[in-house]
Amino acid sequence: MTSSLSDVQSSFPEPTTGQGPRSPAPGLTAAFDPERFHDGAAAIVTRLTRYLGDHSVRGLDLLDPAVLLKAARDLMTHETAHIADFDADRVNQIVDLYTGTGIPVYSPGYMGRQFSGVVPLASLIDLVGSVVNQPSSFYEAGQLPSVAERLMAEHLNHFIGWEPGRYAMVTTSGGSLANMTALLAARDRAFPQIWTRGAGGTPGPPAIAVSEQTHYSVTRAAGVLGIGERQIIRLPADSAGRIRPDLAGPALDEAHRRGLRPFCLVASAGTTAMGAFDPLEELAAVARRYGLWLHVDGAHGASLLLSDHHRHKLRGIDQADSLTWDAHKMLFMPAPCTLLFYRDAATARGAFRQRASYVFDEEPDPYSAYDSADKNFECTKRPMIMPLWAVWSVYGPALFAQKIDRLCEVTRQAADMIAAEPDFAVAHRPESNILCFRYRPPGLQDATAHRLQLEIRNRIRGGGRFFISKVDIDAVAALRVVVMNHLIDAGHLAMLIAEIRDIGQQVLRASAATGNDQRNGSHT
Amino acid sequence: MTSSLSDVQSSFPEPTTGQGPRSPAPGLTAAFDPERFHDGAAAIVTRLTRYLGDHSVRGLDLLDPAVLLKAARDLMTHETAHIADFDADRVNQIVDLYTGTGIPVYSPGYMGRQFSGVVPLASLIDLVGSVVNQPSSFYEAGQLPSVAERLMAEHLNHFIGWEPGRYAMVTTSGGSLANMTALLAARDRAFPQIWTRGAGGTPGPPAIAVSEQTHYSVTRAAGVLGIGERQIIRLPADSAGRIRPDLAGPALDEAHRRGLRPFCLVASAGTTAMGAFDPLEELAAVARRYGLWLHVDGAHGASLLLSDHHRHKLRGIDQADSLTWDAHKMLFMPAPCTLLFYRDAATARGAFRQRASYVFDEEPDPYSAYDSADKNFECTKRPMIMPLWAVWSVYGPALFAQKIDRLCEVTRQAADMIAAEPDFAVAHRPESNILCFRYRPPGLQDATAHRLQLEIRNRIRGGGRFFISKVDIDAVAALRVVVMNHLIDAGHLAMLIAEIRDIGQQVLRASAATGNDQRNGSHT
């Protein structure tokens, strides 16, 4: 060792004290100038304030990518040899293009997806985090974020009900990563040898049981982990999209007969398609009976725990082993901000099992107890907890509860209004803030109805006043609204219903005129 | 279908038109008030401007977590029943605690890790992204981010040199996720059946070849994918930390003799410990010979491609199959912002192979060509490209090249200065901006030297003027500086050297005084 070190040193040139690098170029220093930051911030904040104040009913202005590509390219400096002179106008044009081409998430016309306009204070704290840049996998690097994780875990676990001192929570970059991490912990409990020996040597193929309605990230995780899609046991759901616990046992028995080794049951709270809540209490009993880890994908619906009116939908959550909870969905935070809870902290450490000397300390100290790098996938992790902790600290939990209550109420109202229309059909009674329905005048065949919904959805999007989504339910497309904006009211819903009917009738008339009478389903 | 729908509807109460939910509570509306955002932004920007202007030489003020926990808890409102009245002072205190307890990444005293003070304009664009909240896995949701990904890929690939129209790039949440994603694509090329059938049925255990010096995220990914740590083939490195291509072949031959089925070779550009660049050209030849996918983990060092002086360290990158490139390291962006490049877009789609009706369109349209959700792990993905694209558009590539050149120059100067000190030993000639060295007066045994570096590192951290890290090299701890700040100059380096010597001598004297003469290595 010593000799090789001196070898390295002897190959060095003489020290060049006094001949070091020149000072950094003025253009480089100027790019980090605090005053430039200050002035730039003022211009941007003015624009964002105007953006936040625009509550006009708008959907999406979907641009031809080639047109947008050219516009964006034209905003790029051609200077390559030197640092380009700062051009405040160019920055403003970039910001205008950015704010102008997105889904207007603060508009009541936006009802399409599970992200939303965030609590503005969250964005400001996000800005602080972006500047102070404290990766929060290690206490050393992100002291306050590490502590804030602890505090938020405590406050949120109050609603979950796990044993203090035993549960654990880590933040991670999105629900997909949280679901995968939980599956890894579950796999490690059942097959601890896989981490070192690989997946090849298990007595039978490891398998997971999921709802027909499970999010694609769960089945994707099975592919990633080498479980294989064939080893995914699909548990039947009822017409509302909830796993039927009475059919779960037989499905698991059948899997065992096929030689599979199920180790995890993934329930949803709620599902992406319809916002349905699986019966957790009954499924916990199934999981116990079959020795399965119970993971609850509450990416969307775990936030309902904060509401006195809706908490009961997660009854049984205290019996789960792990829970995915996206704060960037129903806690209205900038994405991503996902919280992964474990009932038992000891199992959390099973997900990943490694050490690296440049980050992990040899001898744990008082600080390393607050490190999360042994429990989350990321090495460099954004301090995503900070916007949530700050908003919670300033406004308290009622901000979330009240907004959630309102969104669910408006969604129920939407279901009532649509159910009252003779040419519409709701697909389910909404359990949260997601509602699926169809424009379906009597007599349409399924195939025709399917194409009609897709066409309506695209024309609505093209019309630019509303933005809604679509989903297949029992192989027939349905329209889908996700009420994420507390400004949406019955007036907006009535406008949307009228617009859907107008478009639907236009489409049907046009088909009839071209001799392609969709009502008779002549084309399937 | 139809009958179950009407069943659902018949269970509905009568529509309650006119009896909808009350208006949202005033406290809820106020939390989204644009003026509140505007005023809050002004206060925060003032604080951040001051923060950015503080260039005093400071390290880390590491607080007792219990003390910080109490301080943070005291900042949380106790109001739970109602939305708490807005308290601007509370927000200011939160921001002060946040900025005051982090590693001061803009200070020349910070030399510890691979994250840094970001380009301030990047943070402002990050703020816009946080407010407009455009998840960028789908063109529909994030039009400009999707287009910006295309443009940045084009500009950066100019330096990689892959065939236009054939390569692909996706952004993803961190280097760990990018490395795992690339391994999945590689696995799919070699073992396409694993995704559906699982990892159990391959003819021999799939294996990957990595450097002894590889980042822990790569070996962790092997655990995640069910490859198993035992199937990791460790390729020997030279004393500078670079894979020895002459020993790679024999190691792979030996693996084949053991029955393993290597499918991927992971090279580093550069390594985390020492910033070493593996010889890509030679390793590409090895990969070709053995039919391996060549993945280059350039999380830290890919950015050197932008520098005329340092580009040559990545010679051969054009022959790789994939490349991980962290813009939150040497492109000075807020974390995370990772770019994953593939030489062949067709292979990128092998990493994940799924469809979900609520997000993926049945019939691809002009828009879906810009979607990235089929190529990245995340469903909801932060528009992380935007800060990078905006800074690049405004300043051009020279901003990055000049900063990188300066950081590497200062690091070389540090190596020269340290090599000239008789009681110090550098561990390698730095190839980039990472330098490892030891305070090692002659005569110390390895075990004593090991403990001495750890103690020095902790005392430096405790002293609060500098922040450096440590790493084990050949099982002996070394001190490690990462020069991420262009304001660091020879004066700061001289101060650091003096401080290390002072502390090192104190530690050695204290050991001698207690009869525990570390020079004799009486305790091992």
Give the pLDDT band (50/70/90) at residue B203. confident
ipTM computed for the complex: 0.93
User: Would you call A123 and B130 a contact, using CB atoms and an 8 Å cutoff?
Assistant: yes
Instruction: Tell me the pLDDT tens digit for each residue of A418-427.
Output: 999 999 999 9
Mean pLDDT of chain B: 92
pLDDT of residue A60: 92
Residue of A nearest to B132 (CA): A99
Residue A520, pLDDT > 80, answer no
Q: What is the largest CA-CA distance in chain A?
A: 90
Domains and CATH numbers, chain A: 134-396 (3.40.640.10), 399-520 (3.90.1150.10)
pLDDT of residue A148: 98
Residue of A nearest to B183 (CA): A224
User: Would you call B52 and A37 a contact, using CB atoms and an 8 Å cutoff?
Assistant: yes
User: Would you call A399 and B27 a contact, using CB atoms and an 8 Å cutoff?
Assistant: yes
| Dist. CA A103–CA A61, nearest whole Å | 8
pLDDT of residue B516: 55
Instruction: Tell me the pLDDT tens digit for each residue of A20-50.
Output: 677 888 999 999 999 999 999 999 999 999 9
User: Would you call B147 and A103 a contact, using CB atoms and an 8 Å cutoff?
Assistant: no
- With a pLDDT cut of 90, the percent of chain A lying above it is 86
Best CA proximity match to B74, nearest among B49, B48, B97, B55: B97
| Dist. CA B156–CA A19, nearest whole Å | 33
| CA separation, residue A418 to residues A45, A59, A240, A406, B487 (Å) | 40, 20, 17, 18, 63
Top pLDDT among B22 and B447 is at: B447
**Looking up tokens 């590192």, which residue turns up?**
B457
User: Would you call A176 and B379 a contact, using CB atoms and an 8 Å cutoff?
Assistant: yes
| CA separation, residue B512 to residues A130, B455, B501, B517 (Å) | 47, 15, 16, 4
Give the gap in angstroms from C-alpha A427 to the nearest C-alpha of chain B: 6
Residue of B nearest to A410 (CA): B21
Residue of B nearest to A50 (CA): B34
Give the gap in angstroms from C-alpha A284 to the nearest C-alpha of chain B: 26
Give the gap in angstroms from C-alpha A53 to the nearest C-alpha of chain B: 6
Residue A9, pLDDT > 50, answer no
Instruction: Tell me the pLDDT tens digit for each residue of B83-112.
Output: 999 999 999 999 999 999 999 999 999 999
Nearest to B426 among A9, A335, A399 (CB): A9
pLDDT of residue B354: 55
3-class DSSP assignment, residue B249: helix
Residue B502, pLDDT > 70, answer yes
| Dist. CA B388–CA B421, nearest whole Å | 40
SS3 string of B162-185?
A: CCCCCCEEEEECCHHHHHHHHHHH
pLDDT of residue B15: 40
| Dist. CA B294–CA B324, nearest whole Å | 12
- With a pLDDT cut of 90, the percent of chain B lying above it is 86
pLDDT of residue B386: 98
List CB contacts (< 8 A) between B229 and chain A.
195-196
Top pLDDT among B515 and B445 is at: B445
Burial class for B148, CB neighbours closer than 10 Å (0-12, 13-18, 19+): buried
Of A293-307, B18-32, B269-283, B429-443, least confident by mean pLDDT is B18-32
The helix (H) or strand (E) run that includes residue B268 is: strand B261-268
When pLDDT is averaged across residues A73-79 and rounded to a whole number, the result is 98
Best CA proximity match to A408, nearest among A314, A296, A488: A488
Q: How many CA atoms lie within 13 A of B278 on its CB side?
A: 36
Nearest to A230 among B115, B176, B197 (CB): B197
pLDDT of residue A23: 86
Instruction: Tell me the pLDDT tens digit for each residue of B100-158.
Output: 999 999 999 999 999 999 999 999 999 999 999 999 999 999 999 999 999 999 999 99
Best CA proximity match to A277, nearest among A149, A383, A159, A430: A430
User: Would you call B202 and A200 a contact, using CB atoms and an 8 Å cutoff?
Assistant: yes
Nearest to B128 among A64, A98, A141 (CB): A98
List CB contacts (< 8 A) between A124 and chain B.
37, 40-41, 44, 91, 127
Mean pLDDT of chain A: 92
Best CA proximity match to B468, nearest among B523, B418, B511: B418
- DSSP secondary structure, A84-106, as one string: PPP-HHHHHHHHHHHHHSB--TT
Best CA proximity match to B62, nearest among A143, A366, A56: A143
Of A249-258, A369-378, B233-242, least confident by mean pLDDT is A369-378
- Category of B231 on φ-ψ map: left (φ > 0), alpha (ψ -120 to 50) or beta: alpha
Amino acid letter at A97? L
User: Would you call A429 and B48 a contact, using CB atoms and an 8 Å cutoff?
Assistant: no
| Beta carbons within 10 angstroms of residue B364's beta carbon | 10
- DSSP secondary structure, B339-390, as one string: EEEESSHHHHTTS-----TTTS-SS--TTGGG--TTTSS-SS---THHHHHH
pLDDT of residue A354: 55
pLDDT of residue A20: 66
- With a pLDDT cut of 70, the percent of chain A lying above it is 92
pTM of structure: 0.94
Give the gap in angstroms from C-alpha A304 to the nearest C-alpha of chain B: 16
Amino acid letter at A393? S
List CB contacts (< 8 A) between A18 and chain B.
490
User: Would you call A62 and B143 a contact, using CB atoms and an 8 Å cutoff?
Assistant: yes
List CB contacts (< 8 A) between B154 and chain A.
none
SS3 string of A301-336?
A: CHHHHHCCCCHHHHCCHHHCCEEEEECCCCCCCCCC
List CB contacts (< 8 A) between A99 and chain B.
128, 132
